[in-house]
Amino acid sequence: MKSYAKKHYLLVLLAVITINFFLPRLMPGDPFLYLSVEEGEVAAAFSEEQIAQYKAYYGMDKPLYMQFYDYILKLLQGDLGYSIYYNTSVLEMILLRIPWTIFIVLCALFLSSFFGTLLGAISARLREKPADKFMYLFMVVFSEIPSFLLGIVFLFVLAAKLKWFPLSGGITIFAPHTSMLSYMGDLLHHAALPIITLTPAGLGNFYILARNSMLTVLSKDYINTAKAKGLKKWQILYKHALRNALPPIIARIFLSLGSLFGGAVLIENVFAYPGVGKLMREAVLKRDYVLIQGIFLTVAVTMLLMNWLADVIYKKLDPRVFR
Amino acid sequence: MKYPLLKVEKLSVCYKNTDALAVHNLSFALRERESVGLIGESGSGKSSLALTIMGLLRSSAEVHGSIRLKNVELTCLPEQELENYRWSKIALVFQNSLEVLNPVMTIGEQIAECIRRHLGLNNLQAKKKTTELLLMTGLDPLWAKAYPHQLSGGMRQKVLIAMALSCDPEVLLVDEPTMALDAANKDEIIKLLLSLQKEKGFSMLVISHEFPVISAMTSRLLVIYSGNVVEEGNTQEVINNPMHPYTRGLVYASPAVNPYRDMWGIPGEATMPSENQCSFLNRCSQRIDRCACELPVLQTVCEDRRVACTRGGIVTLLKGSSLCKCFHVRFREIMACSSCDIEVKAGEVTALIGESGSGKTTIAKILAGILHADRGEVFFQDRKVSGNSETSKRGGVQIVFQDALSATNEHFSIEEIVREPLDIIKWGTKNERLKIVKEALKNVQLPSDDLFLRRRAYTLSGGQRQRTAIARALVMTPKLLIADEISAMLDPSTAANLLRLLKGLQIAQGFTMLYITHDLALAQKISDKVYVMSKGKIIGHGPVRNVFRENRSICLG
């Protein structure tokens, strides 16, 4: 990779770390207030001295720039610190929760990108025909429905009313699983609703992108060349057209991870799914700076990694991009 | 006569979305090992024709007529069967552009896939054949691994040729093979295609808008305008002696054909082909009423030449045959001209060149009817010229003399001089005449206010007097203007302005000019045809470039 690109990534990372540090501290309230308040009560149970002691313990009595300096120093050693509320290692907590989120996000991503691209390509081939027009209208409307709204509807209808899916959680607690298969089935059963809730928004996006991309490519001269060469229809469509239409779709797959993750935060809370999103909400409610920072950082770094991966793959797909 | 390999008959192509008729009732035949050229302006339907023959316009256009390859009617074949003919029997060297090749596939892959598809070879064999093809076009086989964007324009053209020849087609359609290439590359591609044709024996349909390419590559030429063939014949002859006004316009607009001449394109815009009028109507300088009510069909006008023109091709406006004139000066007889034949075609500038005293002015006067020839006859639009029969009417012949100072009465006012011919033939009312006078003066870039109109001629400079004389000729809206050395007494700048003005008027109004001069450089610059005179005889004539190439010594001597 070119050195300027490396510099860009480094710069973005630095900005992320900085924002990540200051943003939670701009929120009203502080962690010790929540630490000292029992659920449902208002008055603080901790005395001033106790709180001051806590603050000193977590280094929060120091000036802000010193705290920032300490934070960076610890980060460099790979230490994300200890949660103030839960009193456990942030890294461990995140590692425990993140697979759940990754699972539903990836599933939704796969479903939306695969079917979106497929439908988009079909739509492009049937251009201006009723099927294309109908599909286009349907997708545009469908993808505009906010996912949390969809989630609530699913929850009421599919889970509460029809009882096809469990109401909440990631797995049936205390259920005896005799085989790996039944365990996996249970996992999927719980994940199904969050996944199908997350999918539509992306599906519409991928559909529109794939349709446009295919339409552009199908009007290019080289498609005409391929036709003139007497190649079979499927050869033209899959070998010549799709390969040219794919790069922007691949790029979008990686870039849509961000919005998909944002969606997951809401959905996890709707379905009480034990992912990072739910953890984040808990952390924010408790003003658990260390935990918030840890989650944000992990998410941001993941996004950056995905961006970088998109760059690399894009270059592999399109030989015209300068290597 | 050899059996035609590809025969296109009454082919019409109409684009569905715009209703634009791209090709109209077009017929031609391509024989084995023959090369036929197709020339025309952009948008004349050349590329549409190539795509139609390949069957690529089926979804976007309506195609009528027949395209036969040997004895297979291609227009009737279902799409799937047509796929077997494409590329293996008829291949197309596409117009060179960056996007004509798939940007994400290597060159080798794109050539090999046709071989695999049509010749049924496996991967390894196809690769080997690809290497051979690249070598054949003079490319290093290493380029097979390259992507299209890594090639130069000339290399891409070679790849397109290699790709088109990959399945040894019988007919090769070549669309603008040298467009956007530099001179050296152009030459290389032309030579390459010709040598490959010799080796492989395919027939070629070369589509281009460049005469040098067509001239080098083809033996027969079709000139296409608005989807119609307007002229067909031997390539060299069509270029040397175009018989349709459109072909002539194309030839004259090409600096490659006429390096010295000023470039003038064909005025106006192409119109949609129509069923009941000539499509070139609005741009033609020899149109008559009949052109607007019938569509000309391709007719044989002479051996090996067919022209689609209601008037039978470019008309001969003025024709003088075996003109002789002898002057008796005291006891001597001077043969000013003897058996001179001269022809002036409509819409052209014909130059009559020769040294002083060679008889040029005599001929001019005979042609205008001012001087009576001892022998021989002059015809203007097939009417015999006698006396002032053609000069005394509008739309006839006018002559402008060399010496404007003696040709215009210096005591007349400008208005009187310019208006005089109208007064003589008693044309229109006084106001109408004045209007025409003013317009003519404006046309020759002279003032047309009352003050100037009342000025006496002697107050004018030589150049102004000459332009006044030209204005006097122009009020008669002549079809033919005989201009006898009209720029000789002008300074270079005024002369240049005047000549450009006349040329501009010619382009705009379509009149014809016989220009008499001893200035060879000028003749090369402004004229289309040249007659060379010496000692009362015409010693050479033809297109400017040929005459000056063949008779260099005579002209300079």
Contacts with B, A 243-262, CB within 8 Å:
243-244
Return the pLDDT at A4. Answer: 65
Closest CA–CA distance from residue B171 to any residue of chain A (Å)? 13
Mutate to test the interface with B, among A222, A237, A316, A321 (most CBs of B within 10 A): A222
Residue B177 has φ and ψ, to the nearest 5°, of -70, -20
**Partners of residue A220 in chain B, C-beta under 8 Å:** 99
Structure tokens at A211: 């349709």
Using the predicted structure, report yes or no on whether residue A42 has a pLDDT greater than 70: no
Rounded to 5 degrees, φ, ψ at B517 are -155, 160
pLDDT of residue B557: 44
Angle at B153 between CA B152 and CA B159, to 5 degrees: 90
Domain extents in chain A? 2-76, 90-322
Q: Confidence class of residue A35 from pLDDT cuts 50, 70 and 90?
A: low
Nearest alpha-carbon partner for A186 in A196, A167, A173, A171:
A171
CA dihedral B423, B424, B426, B431 (to 10 degrees): -10
For all residues of chain A together, what is the average pLDDT?
Answer: 82
Residue among B59, B98, B104 with most chain A CBs within 10 A, to mutate: B104
Helix (H/G/I), strand (E/B), else coil: A43: coil
Residues of B contacting chain A (CB within 8 angstroms): 51, 54, 56, 82-88, 91-92, 94, 97, 99-105, 113-114, 117-118, 147, 149, 163
* Complete DSSP assignment for B147-202: -GGGS-HHHHHHHHHHHHTTT--SEEEEESTTTT--HHHHHHHHHHHHHHHHHH--
Q: Look at residue A34 and tell me whether its pLDDT is greater than 70.
A: no
Q: Do B92 and A231 count as a contact with CB atoms less than 8 A apart?
A: no
Which residue in B has a C-alpha nearest to residue A221's C-alpha?
B100
Packing angle between helix B414-424 and helix B430-443, nearest 10 degrees?
A: 120
pTM greater than 0.90: no
Task: Tell me the pLDDT of chain B (557 aa) as tens digits.
Answer: 456 899 998 998 888 887 778 888 888 899 988 999 999 888 788 888 999 998 888 778 888 999 998 888 888 888 888 888 888 899 999 888 888 999 888 999 999 999 998 988 888 999 999 999 999 998 999 999 999 989 988 899 999 999 999 999 999 999 988 887 888 888 999 999 999 999 999 999 999 988 999 999 999 999 999 888 999 999 999 988 889 989 988 888 888 777 777 777 787 777 777 778 888 888 887 788 888 888 888 888 888 899 988 888 888 889 999 999 988 888 888 888 888 999 998 888 899 998 888 888 899 999 988 888 898 999 998 888 888 888 888 888 999 988 888 888 888 999 999 999 999 998 889 999 999 999 989 888 889 899 999 999 889 888 888 889 989 998 998 889 999 888 877 788 878 888 888 887 777 777 889 999 888 888 888 888 899 988 888 888 888 888 887 766 554 44
Given phi > 0 = left and psi -120 to 50 = alpha, else beta, which region is B480?
beta
Q: Which residues of A touch B163 (CB under 8 A)?
A: 229
* pLDDT confidence bin for A45, thresholds 50/70/90: low
Residues of chain A with C-beta less than 8 angstroms from the C-beta of B114: 229-231
State yes or no: pLDDT of A43 exceeds 70: no
Q: How far, in Å, CA of B283 to CA of B279, rounded?
A: 9
- Tell me, what's the pLDDT at A2? 56
Residue B261: per-residue pLDDT = 74
Query: Cβ separation of B87 and A222 shorter than 8 Å?
Result: no
Q: Give how far B80 is from chain A: nearest CA, Å.
A: 8
CA distance B60 to chain A (A): 12
Task: Say what the pLDDT of residue B403 is.
Answer: 85
Architecture field, domain A90-322? Orthogonal Bundle (1.10)
Q: What is the pLDDT of residues A143-160, one digit of tens each?
A: 888 888 888 888 888 888
CA distance B255 to chain A (A): 31
Residue B234, pLDDT score: 94
Look at B149 and A319 and tell me if their CB atoms are within 8 Å.
yes
Backbone angles phi, psi at B340, to 5 degrees: -95, 130
| Mutate: best of A128, A225, A315, partner B, most B CBs <10 A | A225
CB B547 within 8 A of CB B354: no
Contacts of residue A225 in chain B, CB cutoff 8 Å? 94, 100-102
Cα–Cα distance for residue pair B218/B216, rounded to 1 Å: 6
Rg (CA), chain A: 24
Within an 8 Å CB–CB cutoff, is residue A176 touching chain B?
no
Disruptive mutation site among A213, A229, A246 for chain B (greatest number of B CBs within 10 Å): A229
Taking the C-alpha atoms of residue A229 and residue A241, their distance in angstroms, rounded to an integer, is 14
Strand partners, B225: B228
Distance from CA of B314 to the nearest CA of A (A): 40
Residue B223: which of B193, B247, B196 has the closest Cα?
B247
The string of pLDDT tens digits covering residues B63-76 is: 899 999 888 888 88
Name the region of A272 (left: φ>0; alpha: ψ -120 to 50; beta: rest). Answer: left
